[in-house]
Structure 1
Amino acid sequence: MTKPADVPVLVTGGAGYIGSHAVLALKDAGRKVAVIDNLTTGFRFAIPDGVPLYEGDIEDQALLARIFAEQQIGAVMHFAGSIVVPESVEKPLFYYHNNTVKSRALIEAAVVAGVRHFIFSSTAATYGIPDVAAVTEDTPKVPINPYGWSKLMTEQMLADTSAAHPINHCALRYFNVAGADPLGRTGQSTAGATHLIKVAVEAALGKRESVSVFGTDFDTPDGTGVRDYIHVSDLAAAHVLALDALIAEPARSLTMNCGYGRGFSVMEVLDAVDRVTNRTIERVMAPRRAGDPASLISDPSRIRATLPWQPQHADLDTIIAHALQWERKLTELR
């Protein structure tokens, strides 16, 4: 039987936020790993020493063929793509090209090269506005924006490809990813990021004047939106375990939610940032954004039953502390 350590992995978007944490998780586990990233939103400094970085696009079939051959790639972890929901509404064709068309090219190149395993960075946005308290993988998929659709289309392409070719896949649907590597090796570095915890720690450090609270009239305990926040390092660990599961059972494909099954409101998150930083962030109340659900919380039963996944950082204050530590270091890097 193939051992996971014998399967070299290509990480697309490995210089970005979640991808760089996956690279660290793979490297820490003693795996062979290479990265392809066009560096439009990624950073060279996020790639650890000793990890080959190919600067280029996942739509470049010739480059992919060369990487697959040179690195003897047996698995792909696919993080490359665009992730800003409002931008996807403004630029739908860009999102369908960058997220879906390019994913199709990557999947085809993997099939041609004989790659056997494919892990896809999907999203809870595939569920749209669910009418259940906790979302399972079987909750209807009704995306309400091009971003969600672009990811769901890629999931469908993978399902159809796995049925037709000797490649299996795992689609991991993320809820709200936050935090940074506990050892301070990488974190969320994108300028102008829209993630609440990133924005809040920037405000706490004086990089922003305030934090906008979009919607105070939701049907939630304090009127602000409730989300399930997952530490990025716990998420990266889930990817490594998911790859092990694909290698162990080559005929099986998987779809799993990645969250803790616990929700926090915007106000609870901002209160926690105030608590961790011992400062008070200025909050500016703003109207709801179109398409924001009142609450989006995962049911993580499947991933816990399928993988030996034991989250190490499932604590809001810890997530914020790690994000804050990275934000301070980012100031030095720049």
Structure 2
Amino acid sequence: MRVSAEGLVLGVALDALLGDPKKWHPVAGFGRVASVAERYLYGDTRWRGVVYVGVLVVGAGALGVGIERVARGRVAHGLATAGVTWAVLGGTSLGREGLVMARFLERGDLEAARERLPHLCARDPRGLDAGGLTRAVVESVAENTSDASIAPLFWGAVGGVPGLLMYRAVNTLDAMVGYRNSRYERFGWAAARLDDAVNWVPARVTGGLVALCSGRGAWRVLLRDGGKHPSPNAGRCEAAFAGALGVRLGGVNEYGGRVEKRPEMGDGRAPEVRDIRRAVRLSAAVTFAAAAVIWSLR
């Protein structure tokens, strides 16, 4: 295992310039492979879910090892790392989705905003007004700054190309099967728990970087409110963003008929539409700050 700081930083630049590929996205390809594997391995038990996750995550790691063995020289390894980093990062696409939602809400097109929200989160958009949609977007940008950008960079810095691919595999499997419903309550348990584990450190790094980029308000809310969220990781990101933006996040959310009342984080007003653009800019700044840290440690 080798780590190329130059490759990771170049991958961040490529993601900022290009975003996700329109066709033949490698993560989408992995998702198709995972869907086929689910048909063969699914069973309503935890151990089957463990096998499913193990096969796919180890397979992703093996692919990463193979890429590093082929890319032997420093330049080749750096370029391979950059390409894989670009493939697994999603920060630019996250920001673009946030801006699409901002435009819909700025012109008062709530139906278009409700139709688009599932691109960002699993929250039921049907009963959401403009305020509810705005809060959902800000919270999603905050939480996914870690999942889309900081966590893959962290694991790339720790584990090179295998670390990048294994992280994205875990995160993708959680998005596919990590749900508490009749089909995935047991089968998706391993994916959900492993995703919590691999995001534990990156979520806290994300909160720290948000505070570093924005000031003491984010630190204060992060330390005070970050543990209130039912997720062991999302709360750190959302609390830091709440403090940085001077808004109040949390409240009642509905997911496919299941209602959750979450504690509020932050001391400010309810988020407004203009805060979506602020959140997107902050998310980008945090990603570039992470790249700067990686570069400084090379």
Same fold per superposition (TM over 0.5): no
TM-score, length basis structure 1: 0.25
TM-score, length basis structure 2: 0.27
RCO (CA 8 Å, sep 6+): is it higher in 1 or 2?
A: 2
